Amino acid sequence: MKVKMVGKKSARCKNVYSNCVCNYYKLVDHCVLPAYKAWMFKHCAATCGVCTADSMAKVCRNTYPDQMCTMFASLGFHKQSKMQYFMACKCPKVCGICDMDTPPSAPSIIDNTLDQEECLRLHNEKRSLHGAAELTWCTKCAAFAQTVVQTLQDSDSPLIHSSTDQLVWRVNGKIVIHGENLMYHFPEVDCQMSVESWYREKDLYNPRNPLFDIESSSHFTQMVWKDTQSVGCAKTQSYLACIYEPAGNMRSIYLFRMNVQV
């Protein structure tokens, strides 16, 4: 799925994030850099000039006296990394944040498609290092993963996992519990960085006491869980989810030792 964000001026749009945060991001060029532009147009519309001039004026006021802000700018505070947030928040006018001479261009197209074959290959490469059989692709799991990431992306939520009830459905007439791995990365996520990040949890896994601090290595153990047979993944711009069938990480020392080979 591809989504195109269009920079259309509106009299009613506003910043989702605080003006200080949005002004700082504009000061460091996030309104124009391709990697950040789409996110900025969505969350900092007024600051990036997607709104009308009236809306922009509301977010672009010096909260310190103009004379003081001018003095700070003459000292180059707006160019010093340690002072840029302060300047963008308190003295946006002298930082050039209010400059509306050049209308913003629409951000580039965001590719939300996920390479299924690549994602499956990456999983199976890691599983082969731990004596686990290859997974197959689960279409229903991928469809559920799509609803998960779309909900997270639309609400800008933290990585809140699906409930157990949501992860249970019938497969060939049997009730099956599914596992879930989530990943967030700004400005854009992909399967390779997700799998590598999850796999690094291997160093946190304690085979002698696998139930101790299980959450610290749960992404890794789910990926290499021997009894898991299939996986389906989906992504949006910043969120990625993989759903595993059946679930791993059963809270049993015996099952961990049978399923996680290190």
Percent above pLDDT 90 for the chain:
50
How far is CA 82 from each of CA 19, 30, 87, 131, 154, rounded to the nearest angstrom? 18, 17, 10, 49, 32
pLDDT at 22 over 80: yes
Token pair for 227: 């009894």
pLDDT at 179: 98
pLDDT at 30 over 80: yes
Q: Three-state SS for 51?
A: strand
| Other C-beta atoms lying within 10 Å of the C-beta of residue 105 | 9
Alpha-carbon dihedral 18, 24, 30, 32, rounded to 10 degrees: 100
Query: What mean pLDDT do residues 4-22 have?
Result: 63
Q: What is the pLDDT of residues 157-214, one digit of tens each?
A: 678 899 999 999 999 999 999 999 999 987 789 999 999 999 999 999 999 999 998 9
Give all domains of the chain, ordered by start, each with its CATH number: 2-95 (no CATH), 112-259 (3.40.33.10)
Position 55 confidence tier, pLDDT thresholds 50, 70, 90: low
Please state, in angstroms and rounded to a whole number, the distance separating the CA atoms of residues 1 and 113: 5
Buried b (16+ CB within 10 A) or exposed e, 162-194: beeeebeeeeeeeeeebbbbbbbeebbbbbeeb
Q: Residue 192: what are its φ and ψ, rounded to 5°?
A: -60, -50
Cβ contact 260:194 at 8 Å: no
pLDDT at 27: 87
Q: What is the pLDDT of residues 120-139, one digit of tens each?
A: 999 999 999 999 999 999 99
Q: What is the DSSP string of 52-121?
A: -HHHHHHH---SS-HHHHHHHHHTTGGGSTTTHHHHHHH-TGGGTTT--SSPPPPPPPEE----HHHHHH
Q: Residue 243: what are its φ and ψ, rounded to 5°?
A: -110, 130
pLDDT at 103 over 50: no
In DSSP terms, 169 is beta-bridged to 176
pLDDT at 66 over 80: yes
Cβ contact 137:120 at 8 Å: yes
* Pairing label, strands 110-111, 136-137: unpaired
How far is CA 7 from each of CA 1, 17, 35, rounded to the nearest angstrom? 20, 18, 15
Position 216 confidence tier, pLDDT thresholds 50, 70, 90: very high
Cβ contact 23:30 at 8 Å: no
Alpha-carbon dihedral 15, 190, 230, 255, rounded to 10 degrees: -90
Query: Cis peptide leading into 104, omega within 30 of 0?
Result: no
Token pair for 68: 């003081």
